[in-house]
Structure 1
Amino acid sequence: MISRSAFLLLALAIASAATGLEAQAAAPPMDEMMRPGVSAELARHRAATLRDVRYRLELNVAQSDSAAPGMVTATFTRAPGAGDLVIDFRGPTLSSVTANGQSVSDHVWENGHLRIPARYLRRGENTISAGFTARIAASGASIIRFKDNTDGATYLYTLLVPADANQLFPCFDQPDLKARFTLTVTAPRSWRVLANGPVLRTHVQARTQAVRWSFGETQPISTYLAAFAAGPWKSWSSEQGGRPIGLYARASRAAEVEADSLIAVNRRAVDWLERYFGVPYPFGKFEMLLAPAFPFGGMEHVGAIFYNENQFIFREAPTLGQQIGRKSTIYHEVAHQWFGDLVTMRWFDDLWLKEGFSTYMAARMQDELDPASEAWKTFYLRNKPLAYGTDQTSGTTPVWQDLPNLDLAKSNYGPIVYNKAPSIIKQLNFLVGDSAFQAGLTRFLTRHAYGNATWRDLLDALEETSGTSLDAFGEQYILRAGMPVVQPRMEIVDGRIAGLTLHQRPARELAGDPGGWWPGRVLVRLAYHDREDMVIPVTFTGEVTRIAQAEGLPAPDYVWSNEGDYGYGLFLLDSASAAFVAQNIGREEDGLRRAMLWGALWDEVREGRMDPAAFARTAMRELPGERDEQIAGLNMGRAWTALSTYLPESRAAPLMGGWERLLL
C-alpha cells in the first residue's frame, strides 16, 4: 500500500491537472439557471467555469434555539466569459453581499439562488462574502434540534444530503464542485462541537462566555458531506497505531453506550479497507456521533460519521438481526469514506455508485472479519427479495437514473439504488475476478481521488485491470430497467443428463425496453444425495446457454443455477427440482443456499408455477425446525402473504388452523 503522504500528493496532482479552465461559450439562459433547485444545466455550467473552491464558514448557535446567524466567504477560480454568477441559498435571511471587496447592492435573490452580475467578477481568483441566517428546528431544517426530555439538554446536528447545504449557507451546492471547508462555530460554554476537520483551538468570549470552536481546513469535499454537531455530548477517544478515533453521544445515554466495542469495530473497518483498497484513510481525522432522532441508519460525513442512536444503543438484549445490522451499518458508512467521500459521483444520477459499493464492500468486510455472521446469507436476504420485488414491476427504473434537477434527488433513493446496485456489483466482481476487481478499485480510487467520477469511469478502470469488455454489462445492468428470468431446462435419457441449458427472458415487458440478453457468470450446482455435488462455472452466451460440462452426468436431485448468489435475476427451478426442493429443503445445512432455495420456491409462486397453498404448507411444515431467525422471519411473511393475499378465502380457510397453532 502506498504511504498516506505519497497518496495525497499524487491524488491532488491528478485532481489539479483535471480541473483546468478555459474560455467558455455563452452561459445557459439565466431563467434556466435561476429555476428552483439546482438544475443540471446550472451544475454543468458551474463545473466548467469554476474550480479551486474554498469556504470559510462561521456560525453562531449560542444566540438562539431557532436560528443561527453566520458569515460565509467563498473563494474560487473563474473562467473568462462565464457570465453572471449563481450561488445557491434557501435560508431565511441574506445580507452584506460583497464580491471582490465591493458591495453588491443589485444582486438578485430568488428561487433559492443568489445572482451576482458579471461586472463584479474577474477572470481568475474571486472572493464572495455574505451574511446569512440558518434555521434551527426539530425537523425540516439544515440544523436539526433535539431536546432531551431526560435532562432537558439541547443537541444540534446538521444533515445536508442530498442537496440541503444551500439551506445552511450560500454555496455551489452540487457534488462535483468540491471545496475545502474551514469552519468556526460559536456555542454555549458547556457544549462540545465536532465537525469534518480537526479542532485547532477554542476561545472563550469574555462578554458572552460562549466558546468559539475553530476547525482545520478539510480536504476537497462535496457540500452535502459537510457537517457539524454541537451540544453537551459525552465523548470517548482511543488511539492505536497513531490513529485516534473519537465517539460522541448525548450525556443521558452515556452509560448505555458500548464505546470500546463501537470504536473497535470502526477501527477494524478502517484498517481492513486500507488493506483492501491499497489506499490509506484519506482524511485528517476519524470521529463518529450517535445522533438522536436521526432519520437514517447512518450518514458518511467526511471524518465525522453520524449513526442512528436508536440502532446503536440497545435498551435490552439485541436480536441477532440488530447485532448484524449495527455492524453492517458501520462497515457501510466507513466504506463511504473511500466510495462517496474520497471519490464522489459527479451527479446524483449515479447515486447507486456510492450506495451500492458501500453495501457490497460492507458484506465483503463482514464475511472476512466476522466469519460466523454468514454475511453473504444476510446480504442475500436483505437485498435480493427487495430488489427482485421492485424490478419485477412495471414501475421499475434503471440503476442509473436521469436527474434534471437536484430537487428530485430524494426520489432516486429506494430498492434499485440500495438493493439492486450492490447485487449487480457482486455479479461484476464475479465476472471480472477477485484480483482484477480489487486492482480496478484501487486504480479508480487513486485516479479520481478528491474528485468526481461516473459509472463509466469505474468500468473503464475494471476493463483495464481485467482485459474484459464491460460495455454489455453497462448497457444491460446499469442503463436498462428490469432483470432477467433464468430457467434451466434439462433432458434426461437413461438416468443421465442428455442436455442442460439456461434460458433467459425479461421478467416483465417494459415500454421502451431496448431488449437483448444479460451477460453474466454464475455457478450451477447439480445436487445429489448419493454422490458429491457438481458445481459448474457458466458464462452466459446468449438467450440460451448450453452447459456442455453437465452432459453425461447422472441425473441430479435438483439443479440450482445461482449457487453462491453471484447472478442477478429470478433463477427458477425446473419442475423436478422444484418438487425435490419443496420436500427436502429442511435438510439443507448451508444457510445461504437454504435461504436462496426458499427464495426460488417463492419466485415459483409469484411466477404462477407453484400453488400458494403448497408453499404455505411447506413453510408451515418447516418453520418449527428452522434455526435461522432471518430465514424464519422472511418465510413467516411469505406464508402469510400466500394465505391472506394469494389464496381465495375458501382455499385458505382449511390451512388457518395450522397457521394459528404455529403462532402460539
Structure 2
Amino acid sequence: MSTANLTRAETAARAAAVTVRSYRVELDVTSATDQSEPGFGSVTTVEFDATTGETWLDFLGGTVESVTVNGASVDVRYDGARIALRRLAESNTVVVRGTGRYSRSGEGLHRFRDPADGRTYLYTQYEPSDARRVFACFEQPNMKAPFTFVVTAPAGWEVISNQSVATRDVTDDRQVVEFAPTLPISTYITAVAAGPYHRVDSSWTRGDLTVPLGVLCRASLAPHLDADTILEVTRQGLGFFADNFEFPYPWGKYDQVFVPEYNLGAMENPGLVTFTEAYVFRGAATDAQYEARANTILHEMAHMWFGDLVTMQWWDDLWLKESFADYMGALASAEVTEWTDAWVAFANRRKAWAYSQDQLPTTHPIVADIVDLEAAKLNFDGITYAKGASVLKQLVAYVGREAFFEGARRYFRAHAYGNTTLDDLLRELSATSGRDLDAWAQAWLQTTGMSTLTLERTRGKGRKGGGHQVVQTDPRPHTLSIGLYDFDDAGSLVLTERITVDITSARTPVELNETPLMLLNDDDQTYAKVRLGGFSVRTVEESLDRIVDPLARGLVWSALWNSTRDGELDPRRYLEVARRFAPTEPNTALLTAATTNAAFTVGHYLRKSDRIRWRGEWLETCWATLWSAEAGSGSQLVWARATASAAALDDSRSADIRALLDGTAPAPDGLALDPDLRWSLWTALAATGHAGEAELDAELTRDDTASGRTARLRALAARPDEAVKAWAWESALTDTTLTNDHLDAMIGGFRAGERRDLIARYDSAYFAALTNIWSGRSIEIARRLVVGLFPAKDSTEAVDKWLDANEKAPAALRRLVVEQRDHLERDLRVRSRAR
C-alpha cells in the first residue's frame, strides 16, 4: 500500500504517542502569477510532545530541503508522502522547509488564472487529507492544535485565513501577512485564500458578541455577486444557531469566499468558508437554486459547531458532522429564511441521493468502517449526508425537539475543541430524552439499507378499525404519520386527517377511514421508500396537480420515482405522469427533479424502440411548455434547460434552437438567453451534428470567461465525429494539464448524445486503463475518470470479467467499479420489466 494512504490503525497509534501543541506555517506564494512556476515555499514549525522516539510527518509536496529537530539539522528521510522523524525527546520542535506544488485538480493549494482579466487566484481545499499537499503536518482529525499562518504574497492581494490579520508588512511588490493563532482545530479545516478578490464587508451582533462578516469572489464575477442576499442568510443562520446551541460562535470572523474550479459545494473551514462559484449566478436562477445556496450556507455554518468545535476521532464517524449539518441546513432554512419549503427540496433532492446510494451493493452503515483515507474519500456520499440527516429527522420525532437540542448543547459544552465518537453523542441525547438509544442506534446507524412501506387493505374494505395495515420490508422502528387527503369543494386534494403511528414490525394494523389519497410518511418524518397503494396511484395519475401541499406533492413524486427505479412502475407510465403534471408543477425544486428524472428515464429505463420514440416526445413536451410557461418565471427557466438537455438526443428542433441563438427568431417572452443557457443550447446542437468549431469559437468571443472556455470544451467534445471522440478520449486519459473542470467537460462531451456507435470501441480500453488511472492520478481525478468514462453497455459481462480478474485491486477502485456495474444492472433490469 502507498504510504500516502494512511490507515486508521497507524494514525490511532500515532495519536496515542504524539500530542501536538502548535503549528506555525509559512507560505511564500509571490511566484503564483508566473504560470510556469510550479511550486511555492512552505515552512512548517510544529511543536509536540512524544512518548516515542520516532514518528513521521505527512507531506505530499515537491521537495523537502531540510528538516531540523530540536535545533539540530538531520538527514532528510522523505519518500514523497512521509517525512521520518527520529531521536525524538519528550518535548520537540521540528522545522520542515520544503516546496509545495500548485494544484490544478482542486486538491491542496489550487491556482487559477482568470481568462477574463488575466488575474491569478489561490485557495486551499483539504478535506479529508490534502493539507499535507501544502505543509508538513500530522494529517489526521484527532491531532488538533492552534495554527499560526504567515503568507508572503504579491502586494495588493487580498490574503485571508481562518483568523484575522495580526500584522501586515508591505514593501514595494510584496506583503507578509501574519494571522492570529487559531483555537485548536484539525489540519483539514485550516485554510488560506489569496488573490485580487472582490470583497464586501458587514457584521452580525448578538449581545456582546460582534462577528465581522465578509463575502468574496473573483473580480470579474463581482457584478454578479448578490452579497446582500448572502449576508442576510448568514445573519439569519447565526441567529438561529445562537438561539438553539447556546454556545457563542467561537471562531472570531466569518468570511465566505466563492472560488473557481471547486470540487465541492462548500467547505466548513472555521472563519473562512469556501464555496463553489457556481453559487454566484451569472444569469437567471430559479428559486430552487437560491434555496439550495441558502441551504449550503447554513449547512457549512452548522459545521462551526458540528465538526469544527467538536470533531470526529476518525472518518468512521464522519456522519457526526455531515449528517447534522445536512439536517440543520434544512431546518434553519425552513425556520428563519424566506425559503420555508426547504424540506420539500430535501425530500426530493437530498433523499433521492440517499435512496440511490443505499441500494448499491457498496452501501454502508451511517457509522461506517473506514480503514484508510481512500475509503474515507469515497464516504462523502448520500449515506453520510442525506440518509444521516433523514435519520436525525426521525430521531427528533422520536425523542422530541427540545431533548434533541439540549443533548446537542451538552455535547458542545462537554467536548469543545476535542474529538468524539458515536457513544459520546448518544450519552448526551439519552440523558436529555430519558430514552436508551442503543437499540435505536443499532437499528438506524449501524445497519444498511432501508425499509419499504406499503399501505394495504385488509378485510372489511373502508371500515374504521382494522381495514388497513402498513407492510414493511427490512423492518425498523418508525415514528411516522399517515396523511388522509380528500377533495374539497374546489376540487383540491387537501389533508383531512393526519394519524401518527409507531411502526415496529413487518405488519402493523392501523385504523383509517379510506380517502382518495392515503400518504404514508406524510410530513416526511422517517427514512423509507414509500409505495403508493393501487387506489392512491390511480388518484395521483388523475389529480397529482390538485395536491395543494408542496411537501405532500413532493412525497408523491418521490414515491413514483422510486417505484420506477425499482421496476415496479412501468417507466412509460412515469413519463406519462411527468408529461401531464410537470408543466403545471409550481415548485421549481420539484419541477427540476421531475424533468431530470424524466430525461433519465428516457435515456436509461426504456427499451430501444421506446427510447427513440420518447426522445422526440419528451423534447416536444419541453419545447411546448417552454413557450407556454409564465414569462420570466423559474419554471420557464427549468423548461429551457430541460429543452437543451432533450435536444442533445433528438435534433427535431435544431433549426428552431439555432434561430433562437442566431437571433433570427424571437425567444419566448421573458426568457433571458444568458451565457450558461446559450452554451447548453449550443452543446445540444454540437451533440447532434448541427454546430461546428467555428460556431463554438464565435460563441466564445461573446463569453470569453472561465465558464465559457469550459463550456466550449464540452461542446467541442460533444460533436458526433470519430476523430473528435478519439481526441476527447485521449485527452481525458493522458492530458495531465487539464484542470478538474476541464476534465469534467471533456468527459461530458465524450458521453454527450449517448452515441454508443461512436464510443463503444473504447470499452475494452477503459477496463485496460483502470489500474493505471488509479495508481497514476490523484484520487479526485481518478474518481472522475473511473465514473465518467464507465461504458453504458447492454450487459455486465465486461465489467464482471474485470472484477474477477482484479480481486486484489485497491478497495476504493473496486468500490467505484462495483457501483457503476450496479447502476448498469439496474438499467437493464428496469428495461426488461417494461411491458
TM (norm. structure 2) is: 0.69
What is the alpha-carbon root mean square deviation over aligned residues? 2.4
Q: Provide the C-alpha distance between the structure 2 equivalents of 1:142 and 1:188, rounded to a whole number of angstroms.
A: 20
Q: Provide the C-alpha distance between the structure 1 equivalents of 2:610 and 2:139, rounded to a whole number of angstroms.
A: 57
2:365 paired with 1:393: no
Q: Provide the C-alpha distance between the structure 2 equivalents of 1:629 and 1:260, rounded to a whole number of angstroms.
A: 23
* Paired residue secondary structure (1:565): coil
2:382 paired with 1:415: yes
Structure 1 459/545 Cα, relative in aligned 2: closer, same or farther at 3 Å? farther
Q: Provide the C-alpha distance between the structure 2 equivalents of 1:227 and 1:369, rounded to a whole number of angstroms.
A: 29
Which sits farther off after the overlay, 278-287 or 253-262? 253-262
Structure 1 656/182 Cα, relative in aligned 2: closer, same or farther at 3 Å? closer
More strand by share: 1
Partner of 1:368: 335
CA contact (8 A) 1:582 1:601 kept: no
* Paired residue secondary structure (1:533): strand
- CA offsets 1:637-662 (integer angstroms, 9 cap, x no match): 44445555444456678877764542
Partner of 2:403: 436
Q: CA deviation at 1:164?
A: 1.0
2:126 paired with 1:126: no
Partner of 1:109: 78
Which amino acid letter does the alignment assign opposite residue 464 of structure 1?
Answer: A
Q: CA deviation at 1:77?
A: 2.2
Q: Provide the C-alpha distance between the structure 1 equivalents of 2:137 and 2:497, rounded to a whole number of angstroms.
A: 59
Q: CA deviation at 1:555?
A: 2.8
Question: How do 1:137-156 residues align onto structure 2 when only pairs under 5 Å count?
Answer: 137-139=103-105, 142-156=108-122
2:223 paired with 1:223: no
Which of residues 635, 640, 652 in structure 1 aligns to 2:594? 635
Structure 1 371/292 Cα, relative in aligned 2: closer, same or farther at 3 Å? closer
2:566 paired with 1:594: no
2:196 paired with 1:232: yes
Q: Provide the C-alpha distance between the structure 1 equivalents of 2:453 and 2:324, rounded to a whole number of angstroms.
A: 25
Which amino acid letter does the alignment assign opposite residue 275 of structure 1?
Answer: D
CA contact (8 A) 1:135 1:141 kept: no
* Paired residue secondary structure (1:528): strand
Which of residues 500, 524, 528 in structure 1 aligns to 2:482? 524
Which sits farther off after the overlay, 553-562 or 382-391? 553-562
Partner of 1:490: 457
Which of residues 242, 255, 259 in structure 2 aligns to 1:274? 242
Which of residues 465, 470, 473 in structure 2 aligns to 1:502? 470
Partner of 1:457: 424
2:530 paired with 1:576: no
- CA offsets 1:127-186 (integer angstroms, 9 cap, x no match): 111211111243365211111222221111111111011121111000000110011111
Structure 1 633/52 Cα, relative in aligned 2: closer, same or farther at 3 Å? closer
Which amino acid letter does the alignment assign opposite residue 589 of structure 2?
Answer: Q
Which sits farther off after the overlay, 496-505 or 226-235? 496-505
Q: Provide the C-alpha distance between the structure 2 equivalents of 1:601 and 1:457, rounded to a whole number of angstroms.
A: 39
Which amino acid letter does the alignment assign opposite residue 85 of structure 2?
Answer: I
Q: Percent identity, aligned pairs only?
A: 35
Q: CA deviation at 1:526?
A: 2.7
Q: CA deviation at 1:430?
A: 1.3
2:243 paired with 1:245: no
Partner of 1:352: 319
2:42 paired with 1:70: yes
More helix by share: 2
Q: Provide the C-alpha distance between the structure 1 equivalents of 2:419 and 2:16, rounded to a whole number of angstroms.
A: 13
Q: Provide the C-alpha distance between the structure 2 equivalents of 1:102 and 1:299, rounded to a whole number of angstroms.
A: 38
Structure 1 657/104 Cα, relative in aligned 2: closer, same or farther at 3 Å? closer
Q: CA deviation at 1:240?
A: 4.0
Q: Provide the C-alpha distance between the structure 1 equivalents of 2:552 and 2:398, rounded to a whole number of angstroms.
A: 20
Q: CA deviation at 1:378?
A: 0.9
Q: Provide the C-alpha distance between the structure 1 equivalents of 2:28 and 2:278, rounded to a whole number of angstroms.
A: 28
Q: Provide the C-alpha distance between the structure 2 equivalents of 1:335 and 1:140, rounded to a whole number of angstroms.
A: 24
Partner of 1:261: 229
Which of residues 419, 436, 441 in structure 2 aligns to 1:469? 436
CA contact (8 A) 1:163 1:407 kept: no
Which sits farther off after the overlay, 428-437 or 491-500? 491-500
Partner of 2:69: 99
Which amino acid letter does the alignment assign opposite residue 540 of structure 2?
Answer: V
Q: Provide the C-alpha distance between the structure 2 equivalents of 1:571 and 1:410, rounded to a whole number of angstroms.
A: 31
Partner of 1:189: 155
Structure 1 558/309 Cα, relative in aligned 2: closer, same or farther at 3 Å? closer
- CA offsets 1:168-207 (integer angstroms, 9 cap, x no match): 11110000001100111111112121011110111134xx
CA contact (8 A) 1:53 1:177 kept: no
CA contact (8 A) 2:23 2:46 kept: yes
Q: Provide the C-alpha distance between the structure 1 equivalents of 2:103 and 2:612, rounded to a whole number of angstroms.
A: 51
- CA offsets 1:321-362 (integer angstroms, 9 cap, x no match): 221122111111111111111111111122222122111101
Which amino acid letter does the alignment assign opposite residue 358 of structure 1?
Answer: A
Q: CA deviation at 1:83?
A: 3.7
Structure 1 146/519 Cα, relative in aligned 2: closer, same or farther at 3 Å? same
CA contact (8 A) 2:484 2:495 kept: no
Partner of 2:688: none
Which sits farther off after the overlay, 182-191 or 218-227? 182-191
Tell me which of the two structures has the higher relative contact order, counting C-alpha pairs closer than 8 angstroms and 6 or more residues apart. 1
Q: Provide the C-alpha distance between the structure 2 equivalents of 1:235 and 1:639, rounded to a whole number of angstroms.
A: 41
- CA offsets 1:438-493 (integer angstroms, 9 cap, x no match): 11111112211111112232222211111112222222222212111112223252
Partner of 2:346: 379
Unaligned runs of 5+ in 1: 1-31, 507-516
Structure 1 419/372 Cα, relative in aligned 2: closer, same or farther at 3 Å? closer
CA contact (8 A) 1:78 1:126 kept: yes
Partner of 1:45: 13
CA contact (8 A) 1:84 1:116 kept: yes
Structure 1 492/543 Cα, relative in aligned 2: closer, same or farther at 3 Å? closer
